[in-house]
Amino acid sequence: MKVALYARYFSDSHRQHLILGFNSPFYPNTLIATSVFQEGVNLHLQCRKVHHYGIAWTPGDNEQRVGRVDRLFGKVNSLLREHGPGEGALEINYPYLKDSFDEDQIGSFIERKYEVEEKMDRCEQGAFDKEIRLMRSGWEAFLRTPTQNETLSDPYPAAFTKD
């Protein structure tokens, strides 16, 4: 496995070299980066897995991190087109130490992220509570899994009239 690292103190040319290499089928096949790769970087051409080492504090920050890989015309998109749901799914991992503060932190975040997504699906707005709840059990129930063509109703459907 060829691994590359990128952090804020590297040069812009090094950054571009890593991005080009990671988007090719050659080198590197694993890229470790700080939050400097959270926005404005396309890493989707050869990648379908995101491992979060360190949790994003808001659902928006989390979405930005995942969005580097979850893009149209990328590897996930082509695998889904080839094999259908399940086989080419985007894999998102949140590694943690069981029965630790890590688990409490991730559990609190995942539960709140789920609540925010539910509100967004209903076109509602709400604040995001950043408090970490200790000894959170059952948070795994809030993890999303791929569904087969789920149809959601639009709370604000468009109404077209002919003049």
pLDDT, tens digit, for every residue of 29-47?
788 877 777 778 888 888 8
Q: How far apart are CA 9 and CA 99, in angstroms?
A: 34
pLDDT, tens only, 122-132: 888 776 677 77
pLDDT of residue 148 exceeding 80, the answer is no
What's this model's pTM, rounded to 2 decimal places? 0.70
Rounded average pLDDT over 154-162: 77
Q: How far apart are CA 93 and CA 102, in angstroms?
A: 13
**Residue of 156, 157, 110, 116 lying closest to 133 (CA atoms):** 110
Residue extents of the structural domains in the chain: 1-95, 97-147
**Residue of 149, 125, 140, 146 lying closest to 59 (CA atoms):** 125
The angle at the Cα of 80, spanning 75 to 82, to the nearest 5 degrees, equals: 95
Tokens linked to 108? 């609190």
Find out whether the peptide bond into 146 is cis, omega within 30 degrees of 0: no
- The CATH topology of domain 1-95 is Rossmann fold (3.40.50)
